[in-house]
Amino acid sequence: MSVEVARVDNISHEEFVTRFLKPGVPVIFKNASSSWKARELFTPEWFRKTLGDKRKTIHGVPYTMRELMDLVEASTPEKPAPYPLIWNIDQDLPELLPLLEPMHVNYCLPNWLNRPVFQVGKWGGNRELFVGGAGSQFPYAHIDLYHLSAWINQVYGDKEFIVFPFGQDECLYPKPNEPWKSQVNIFNPDYEKHPKFRNATPIKFTIHPGETLYVPFGMWHTAYSVTPTISVAFDQLSSANYSKFMKDVWLLKKRSGGLPKALAMYSYALVMGNGCRIQDSLRSKAAASILP
């Protein structure tokens, strides 16, 4: 598709909200993470030397960080490294957090997931390290759970993304029991099995080291590592996606824990979310009152 995803630099938060967040348009920030120390440090060699003994089990096989980085650098499209390799930064690699400040990159604001009230329960929104080798691809196109907005910060290597404009759910054949996952193999579609995918209009683009991709909530997307890649991703919840978030809370909590769990978690999220809305409103009024 000929549509281009805009690349911007040094725009205001207000411009981001008007041009991209409100209409639900993806955008690439060229230097939003410029203050991150990680941009100068994160390479496969740095992870080998600094965190080489950290262990992770992939598909039942235990590896050290050192071994995984060797696999990533040896990866080819014909024989790709295991993917996705994901670490929950807060739980597994907290020593990385000082290298990723400010995590919000001055645009992911407000983010209710960072407030203490949404640290209770599992709502998605983990801050995660993604590592991939050349030829590694995410196993399916998907919508982020809970209709959270995604922020992907490319720190090392080039990664190709594919996003689908809104209104193409039917073309992507959501799984009946997991409607946030597509049944279509995006990279090698079977048009006999999924004929409506011919009508889909994917937008492809590559993000490079130092760039940050914003994927609007509810947008289908997937990714492919062109080279060895290291990315840091996190999600966002705010008043913009709160209503869709609440629908997912009910469905997902009911699915995992039945009606009692759904009622409890929905009630909690309802109260806490409305509290966050009030906080945001009060802060906006306070900021407006001090303007000349």
Report CA torsion sign: 115, 93, 215, 8.
positive
pLDDT digit string (tens) for 13-50? 999 999 999 999 999 999 999 999 999 999 999 999 99
Q: What is the domain extent for residue 203? A: 7-240
201 domain residue, yes or no: yes
The predicted structure's pLDDT at residue 82 = 85
pTM for the whole structure? 0.94
The predicted structure's pLDDT at residue 71 = 96
Same domain, yes or no: 147 and 245: no
Report how many domains make up the chain.
2
For the chain, give the mean pLDDT.
Answer: 93
pLDDT digit string (tens) for 210-231? 999 999 999 999 999 999 999 9
1 domain residue, yes or no: no
The predicted structure's pLDDT at residue 288 = 60
Same domain, yes or no: 23 and 104: yes
Same domain, yes or no: 106 and 93: yes
Q: Where are the beta strands (DSSP E) in the chain?
A: 7-8, 27-29, 55-58, 61-64, 85-88, 128-132, 149-156, 159-164, 203-207, 212-215, 220-225, 229-236
Q: Check residues 1 and 201 and name the one with the higher pLDDT.
A: 201
The predicted structure's pLDDT at residue 126 = 81
pLDDT exceeds cutoff 90 at 276: yes
Same domain, yes or no: 178 and 264: no
Same domain, yes or no: 278 and 149: no
Among candidate residues 169, 88, 122, 91, the one with its CA nearest the CA of residue 268: 122
Same domain, yes or no: 19 and 58: yes
The predicted structure's pLDDT at residue 291 = 47
Same domain, yes or no: 107 and 87: yes
Averaged over 244-258, what is the pLDDT?
94
The predicted structure's pLDDT at residue 251 = 93
Q: Are 240 and 22 in contact (CB under 8 A)?
A: yes
Query: Can you read off the two tokens belonging to residue 280?
Result: 């945001």
